[in-house]
Amino acid sequence: MTPLIVLTLVLVWQAVLVGYTFTLAGNAADEAVRAGTAAAPGGARQAACEAAALKDLSDAWRDGASVTCSASGYVTADVSLRVPVLFPGVVPFPVTVTGHAGTVEEVKH
């Protein structure tokens, strides 16, 4: 019975890590799109988006993270994070979680 209980706890913990990674990816995408709307178009926007998305992530999720921002009247940000296996920062799970956010581009007068 003990191995079954331990296996159940391990699976529940892994599910918690997957859920937490979804939360981190969504928040990072929100932060990236906020920074992207305030930045100048072009390379400055991508740099601002990436910096904002990665700012609050711990090293375990920052390693291997991918941030893409684009704009054409509507600014979008996509953040992809790898899910860790049992302990963040040790071994990545072969699953990538993506967060997406978008907003209308600010017009400066």
The per-residue pLDDT for range 38-71, each reduced to its tens digit, is 776 667 778 888 888 988 888 888 888 889 888 7
**Cβ density class 41-60: b for 16+ within 10 Å, e for less:** eeeebbebbbebbbeebeeb
pTM: 0.82
Distances (CA, A) of 4 to 8, 10, 11: 6, 10, 11
Nearest to 93 by CA among 103, 101, 85: 85
What residues are paired with 67 via a beta bridge? 79
Determine contact, residues 27/57, Cβ cutoff 8 Å.
Answer: no
